[in-house]
Amino acid sequence: MADGLSSFWGPVTSTNEWCEKNYVYSSYIAEFFNTLSNIPCILLALIGLVNSSRQRFEKRFSVLHLSNMILAIWNILYHATLYRVLQQSDETPVIWETLLYIYVLYSPDWHYRRTMPTFLVVYGATFAMVHSHMQLGIGFKVHFVILCLLCIPRMYKYYLYTDDLYAKRVAKVYAVTLVVGTLCWLFDRVLCRDSWPVNPQGHAMWHVFMGINSYFANTFLMFCRAQQRGWAPKVVHYMGILPYVKIRKPKVR
């Protein structure tokens, strides 16, 4: 898209150009709304991290929330500068985080517990090296979609085996935000027009919906894992709005 103000960061080197015009509101932020729309994800991930740490959930959930936060920060750096190197620094952690979700989803039933994390680490490292040398474009997107599709059936299985109505509502919000966020991404990517009087900011809305999506996904997974561990999980709400999982671990005698 055409530039507005002069650029503090220099020429755009990213291989992706989103629908938002560059440097319209600030010479320090290439895509203003695409940058700031990551803030909700950071705040929600911070809330999730505090909750999982305070109640001493398994470390995998603290890592999951922390990875959501780090990914949003990398995304801020990428959209603020539109540098190619920061684009890759954003895309590679996306794959790593999806592999982390695969681990959290499948590890409870995995018989070879040491083999699975080793395989995922090697897989993630291999992808990072290949992506850094070949600079995958459509290949990255197809790869990401395939990994996401591996997660969805498992989430649906957990949904079917969950009787708690509040936990099911959390899972439904996860599903709805995933669909709506994806539609926003496609809308921004496919239907972008310079003739629009107002930019609907589809990519920025994708960030917002996926920030909500990741928080609700993590909350639902925490509930399911607590059920597996016999921790009597219960979905409660901050100020009657934001759900989180409260557990009651059995006392060790």
- Domain residue extents for the chain: 32-246
pLDDT (mean) for 146-156: 94
Give start and end residues of each alpha helix (H) in 191-244: 202-229
Do the annotations mark residue 133 as ligand-binding? Answer: no
Residues in the chain: 253
pLDDT of amino acid 4: 47
pLDDT of amino acid 136: 73
Do the annotations mark residue 18 as ligand-binding? Answer: yes
Q: What pLDDT digit, counting tens, does each position of 87-138 carry?
A: 888 889 999 999 999 999 998 887 777 788 899 999 999 988 988 887 777 8
Q: What pLDDT digit, counting tens, does each position of 84-97 carry?
A: 888 888 889 999 99
**249 DSSP assignment:** P
* Residue of 87, 102, 165 whose CA lies nearest to 132: 87
The hierarchical CATH code for the domain 32-246 is: 1.20.1070.10
Do the annotations mark residue 34 as ligand-binding? Answer: no
Do the annotations mark residue 111 as ligand-binding? Answer: no
Do the annotations mark residue 237 as ligand-binding? Answer: no
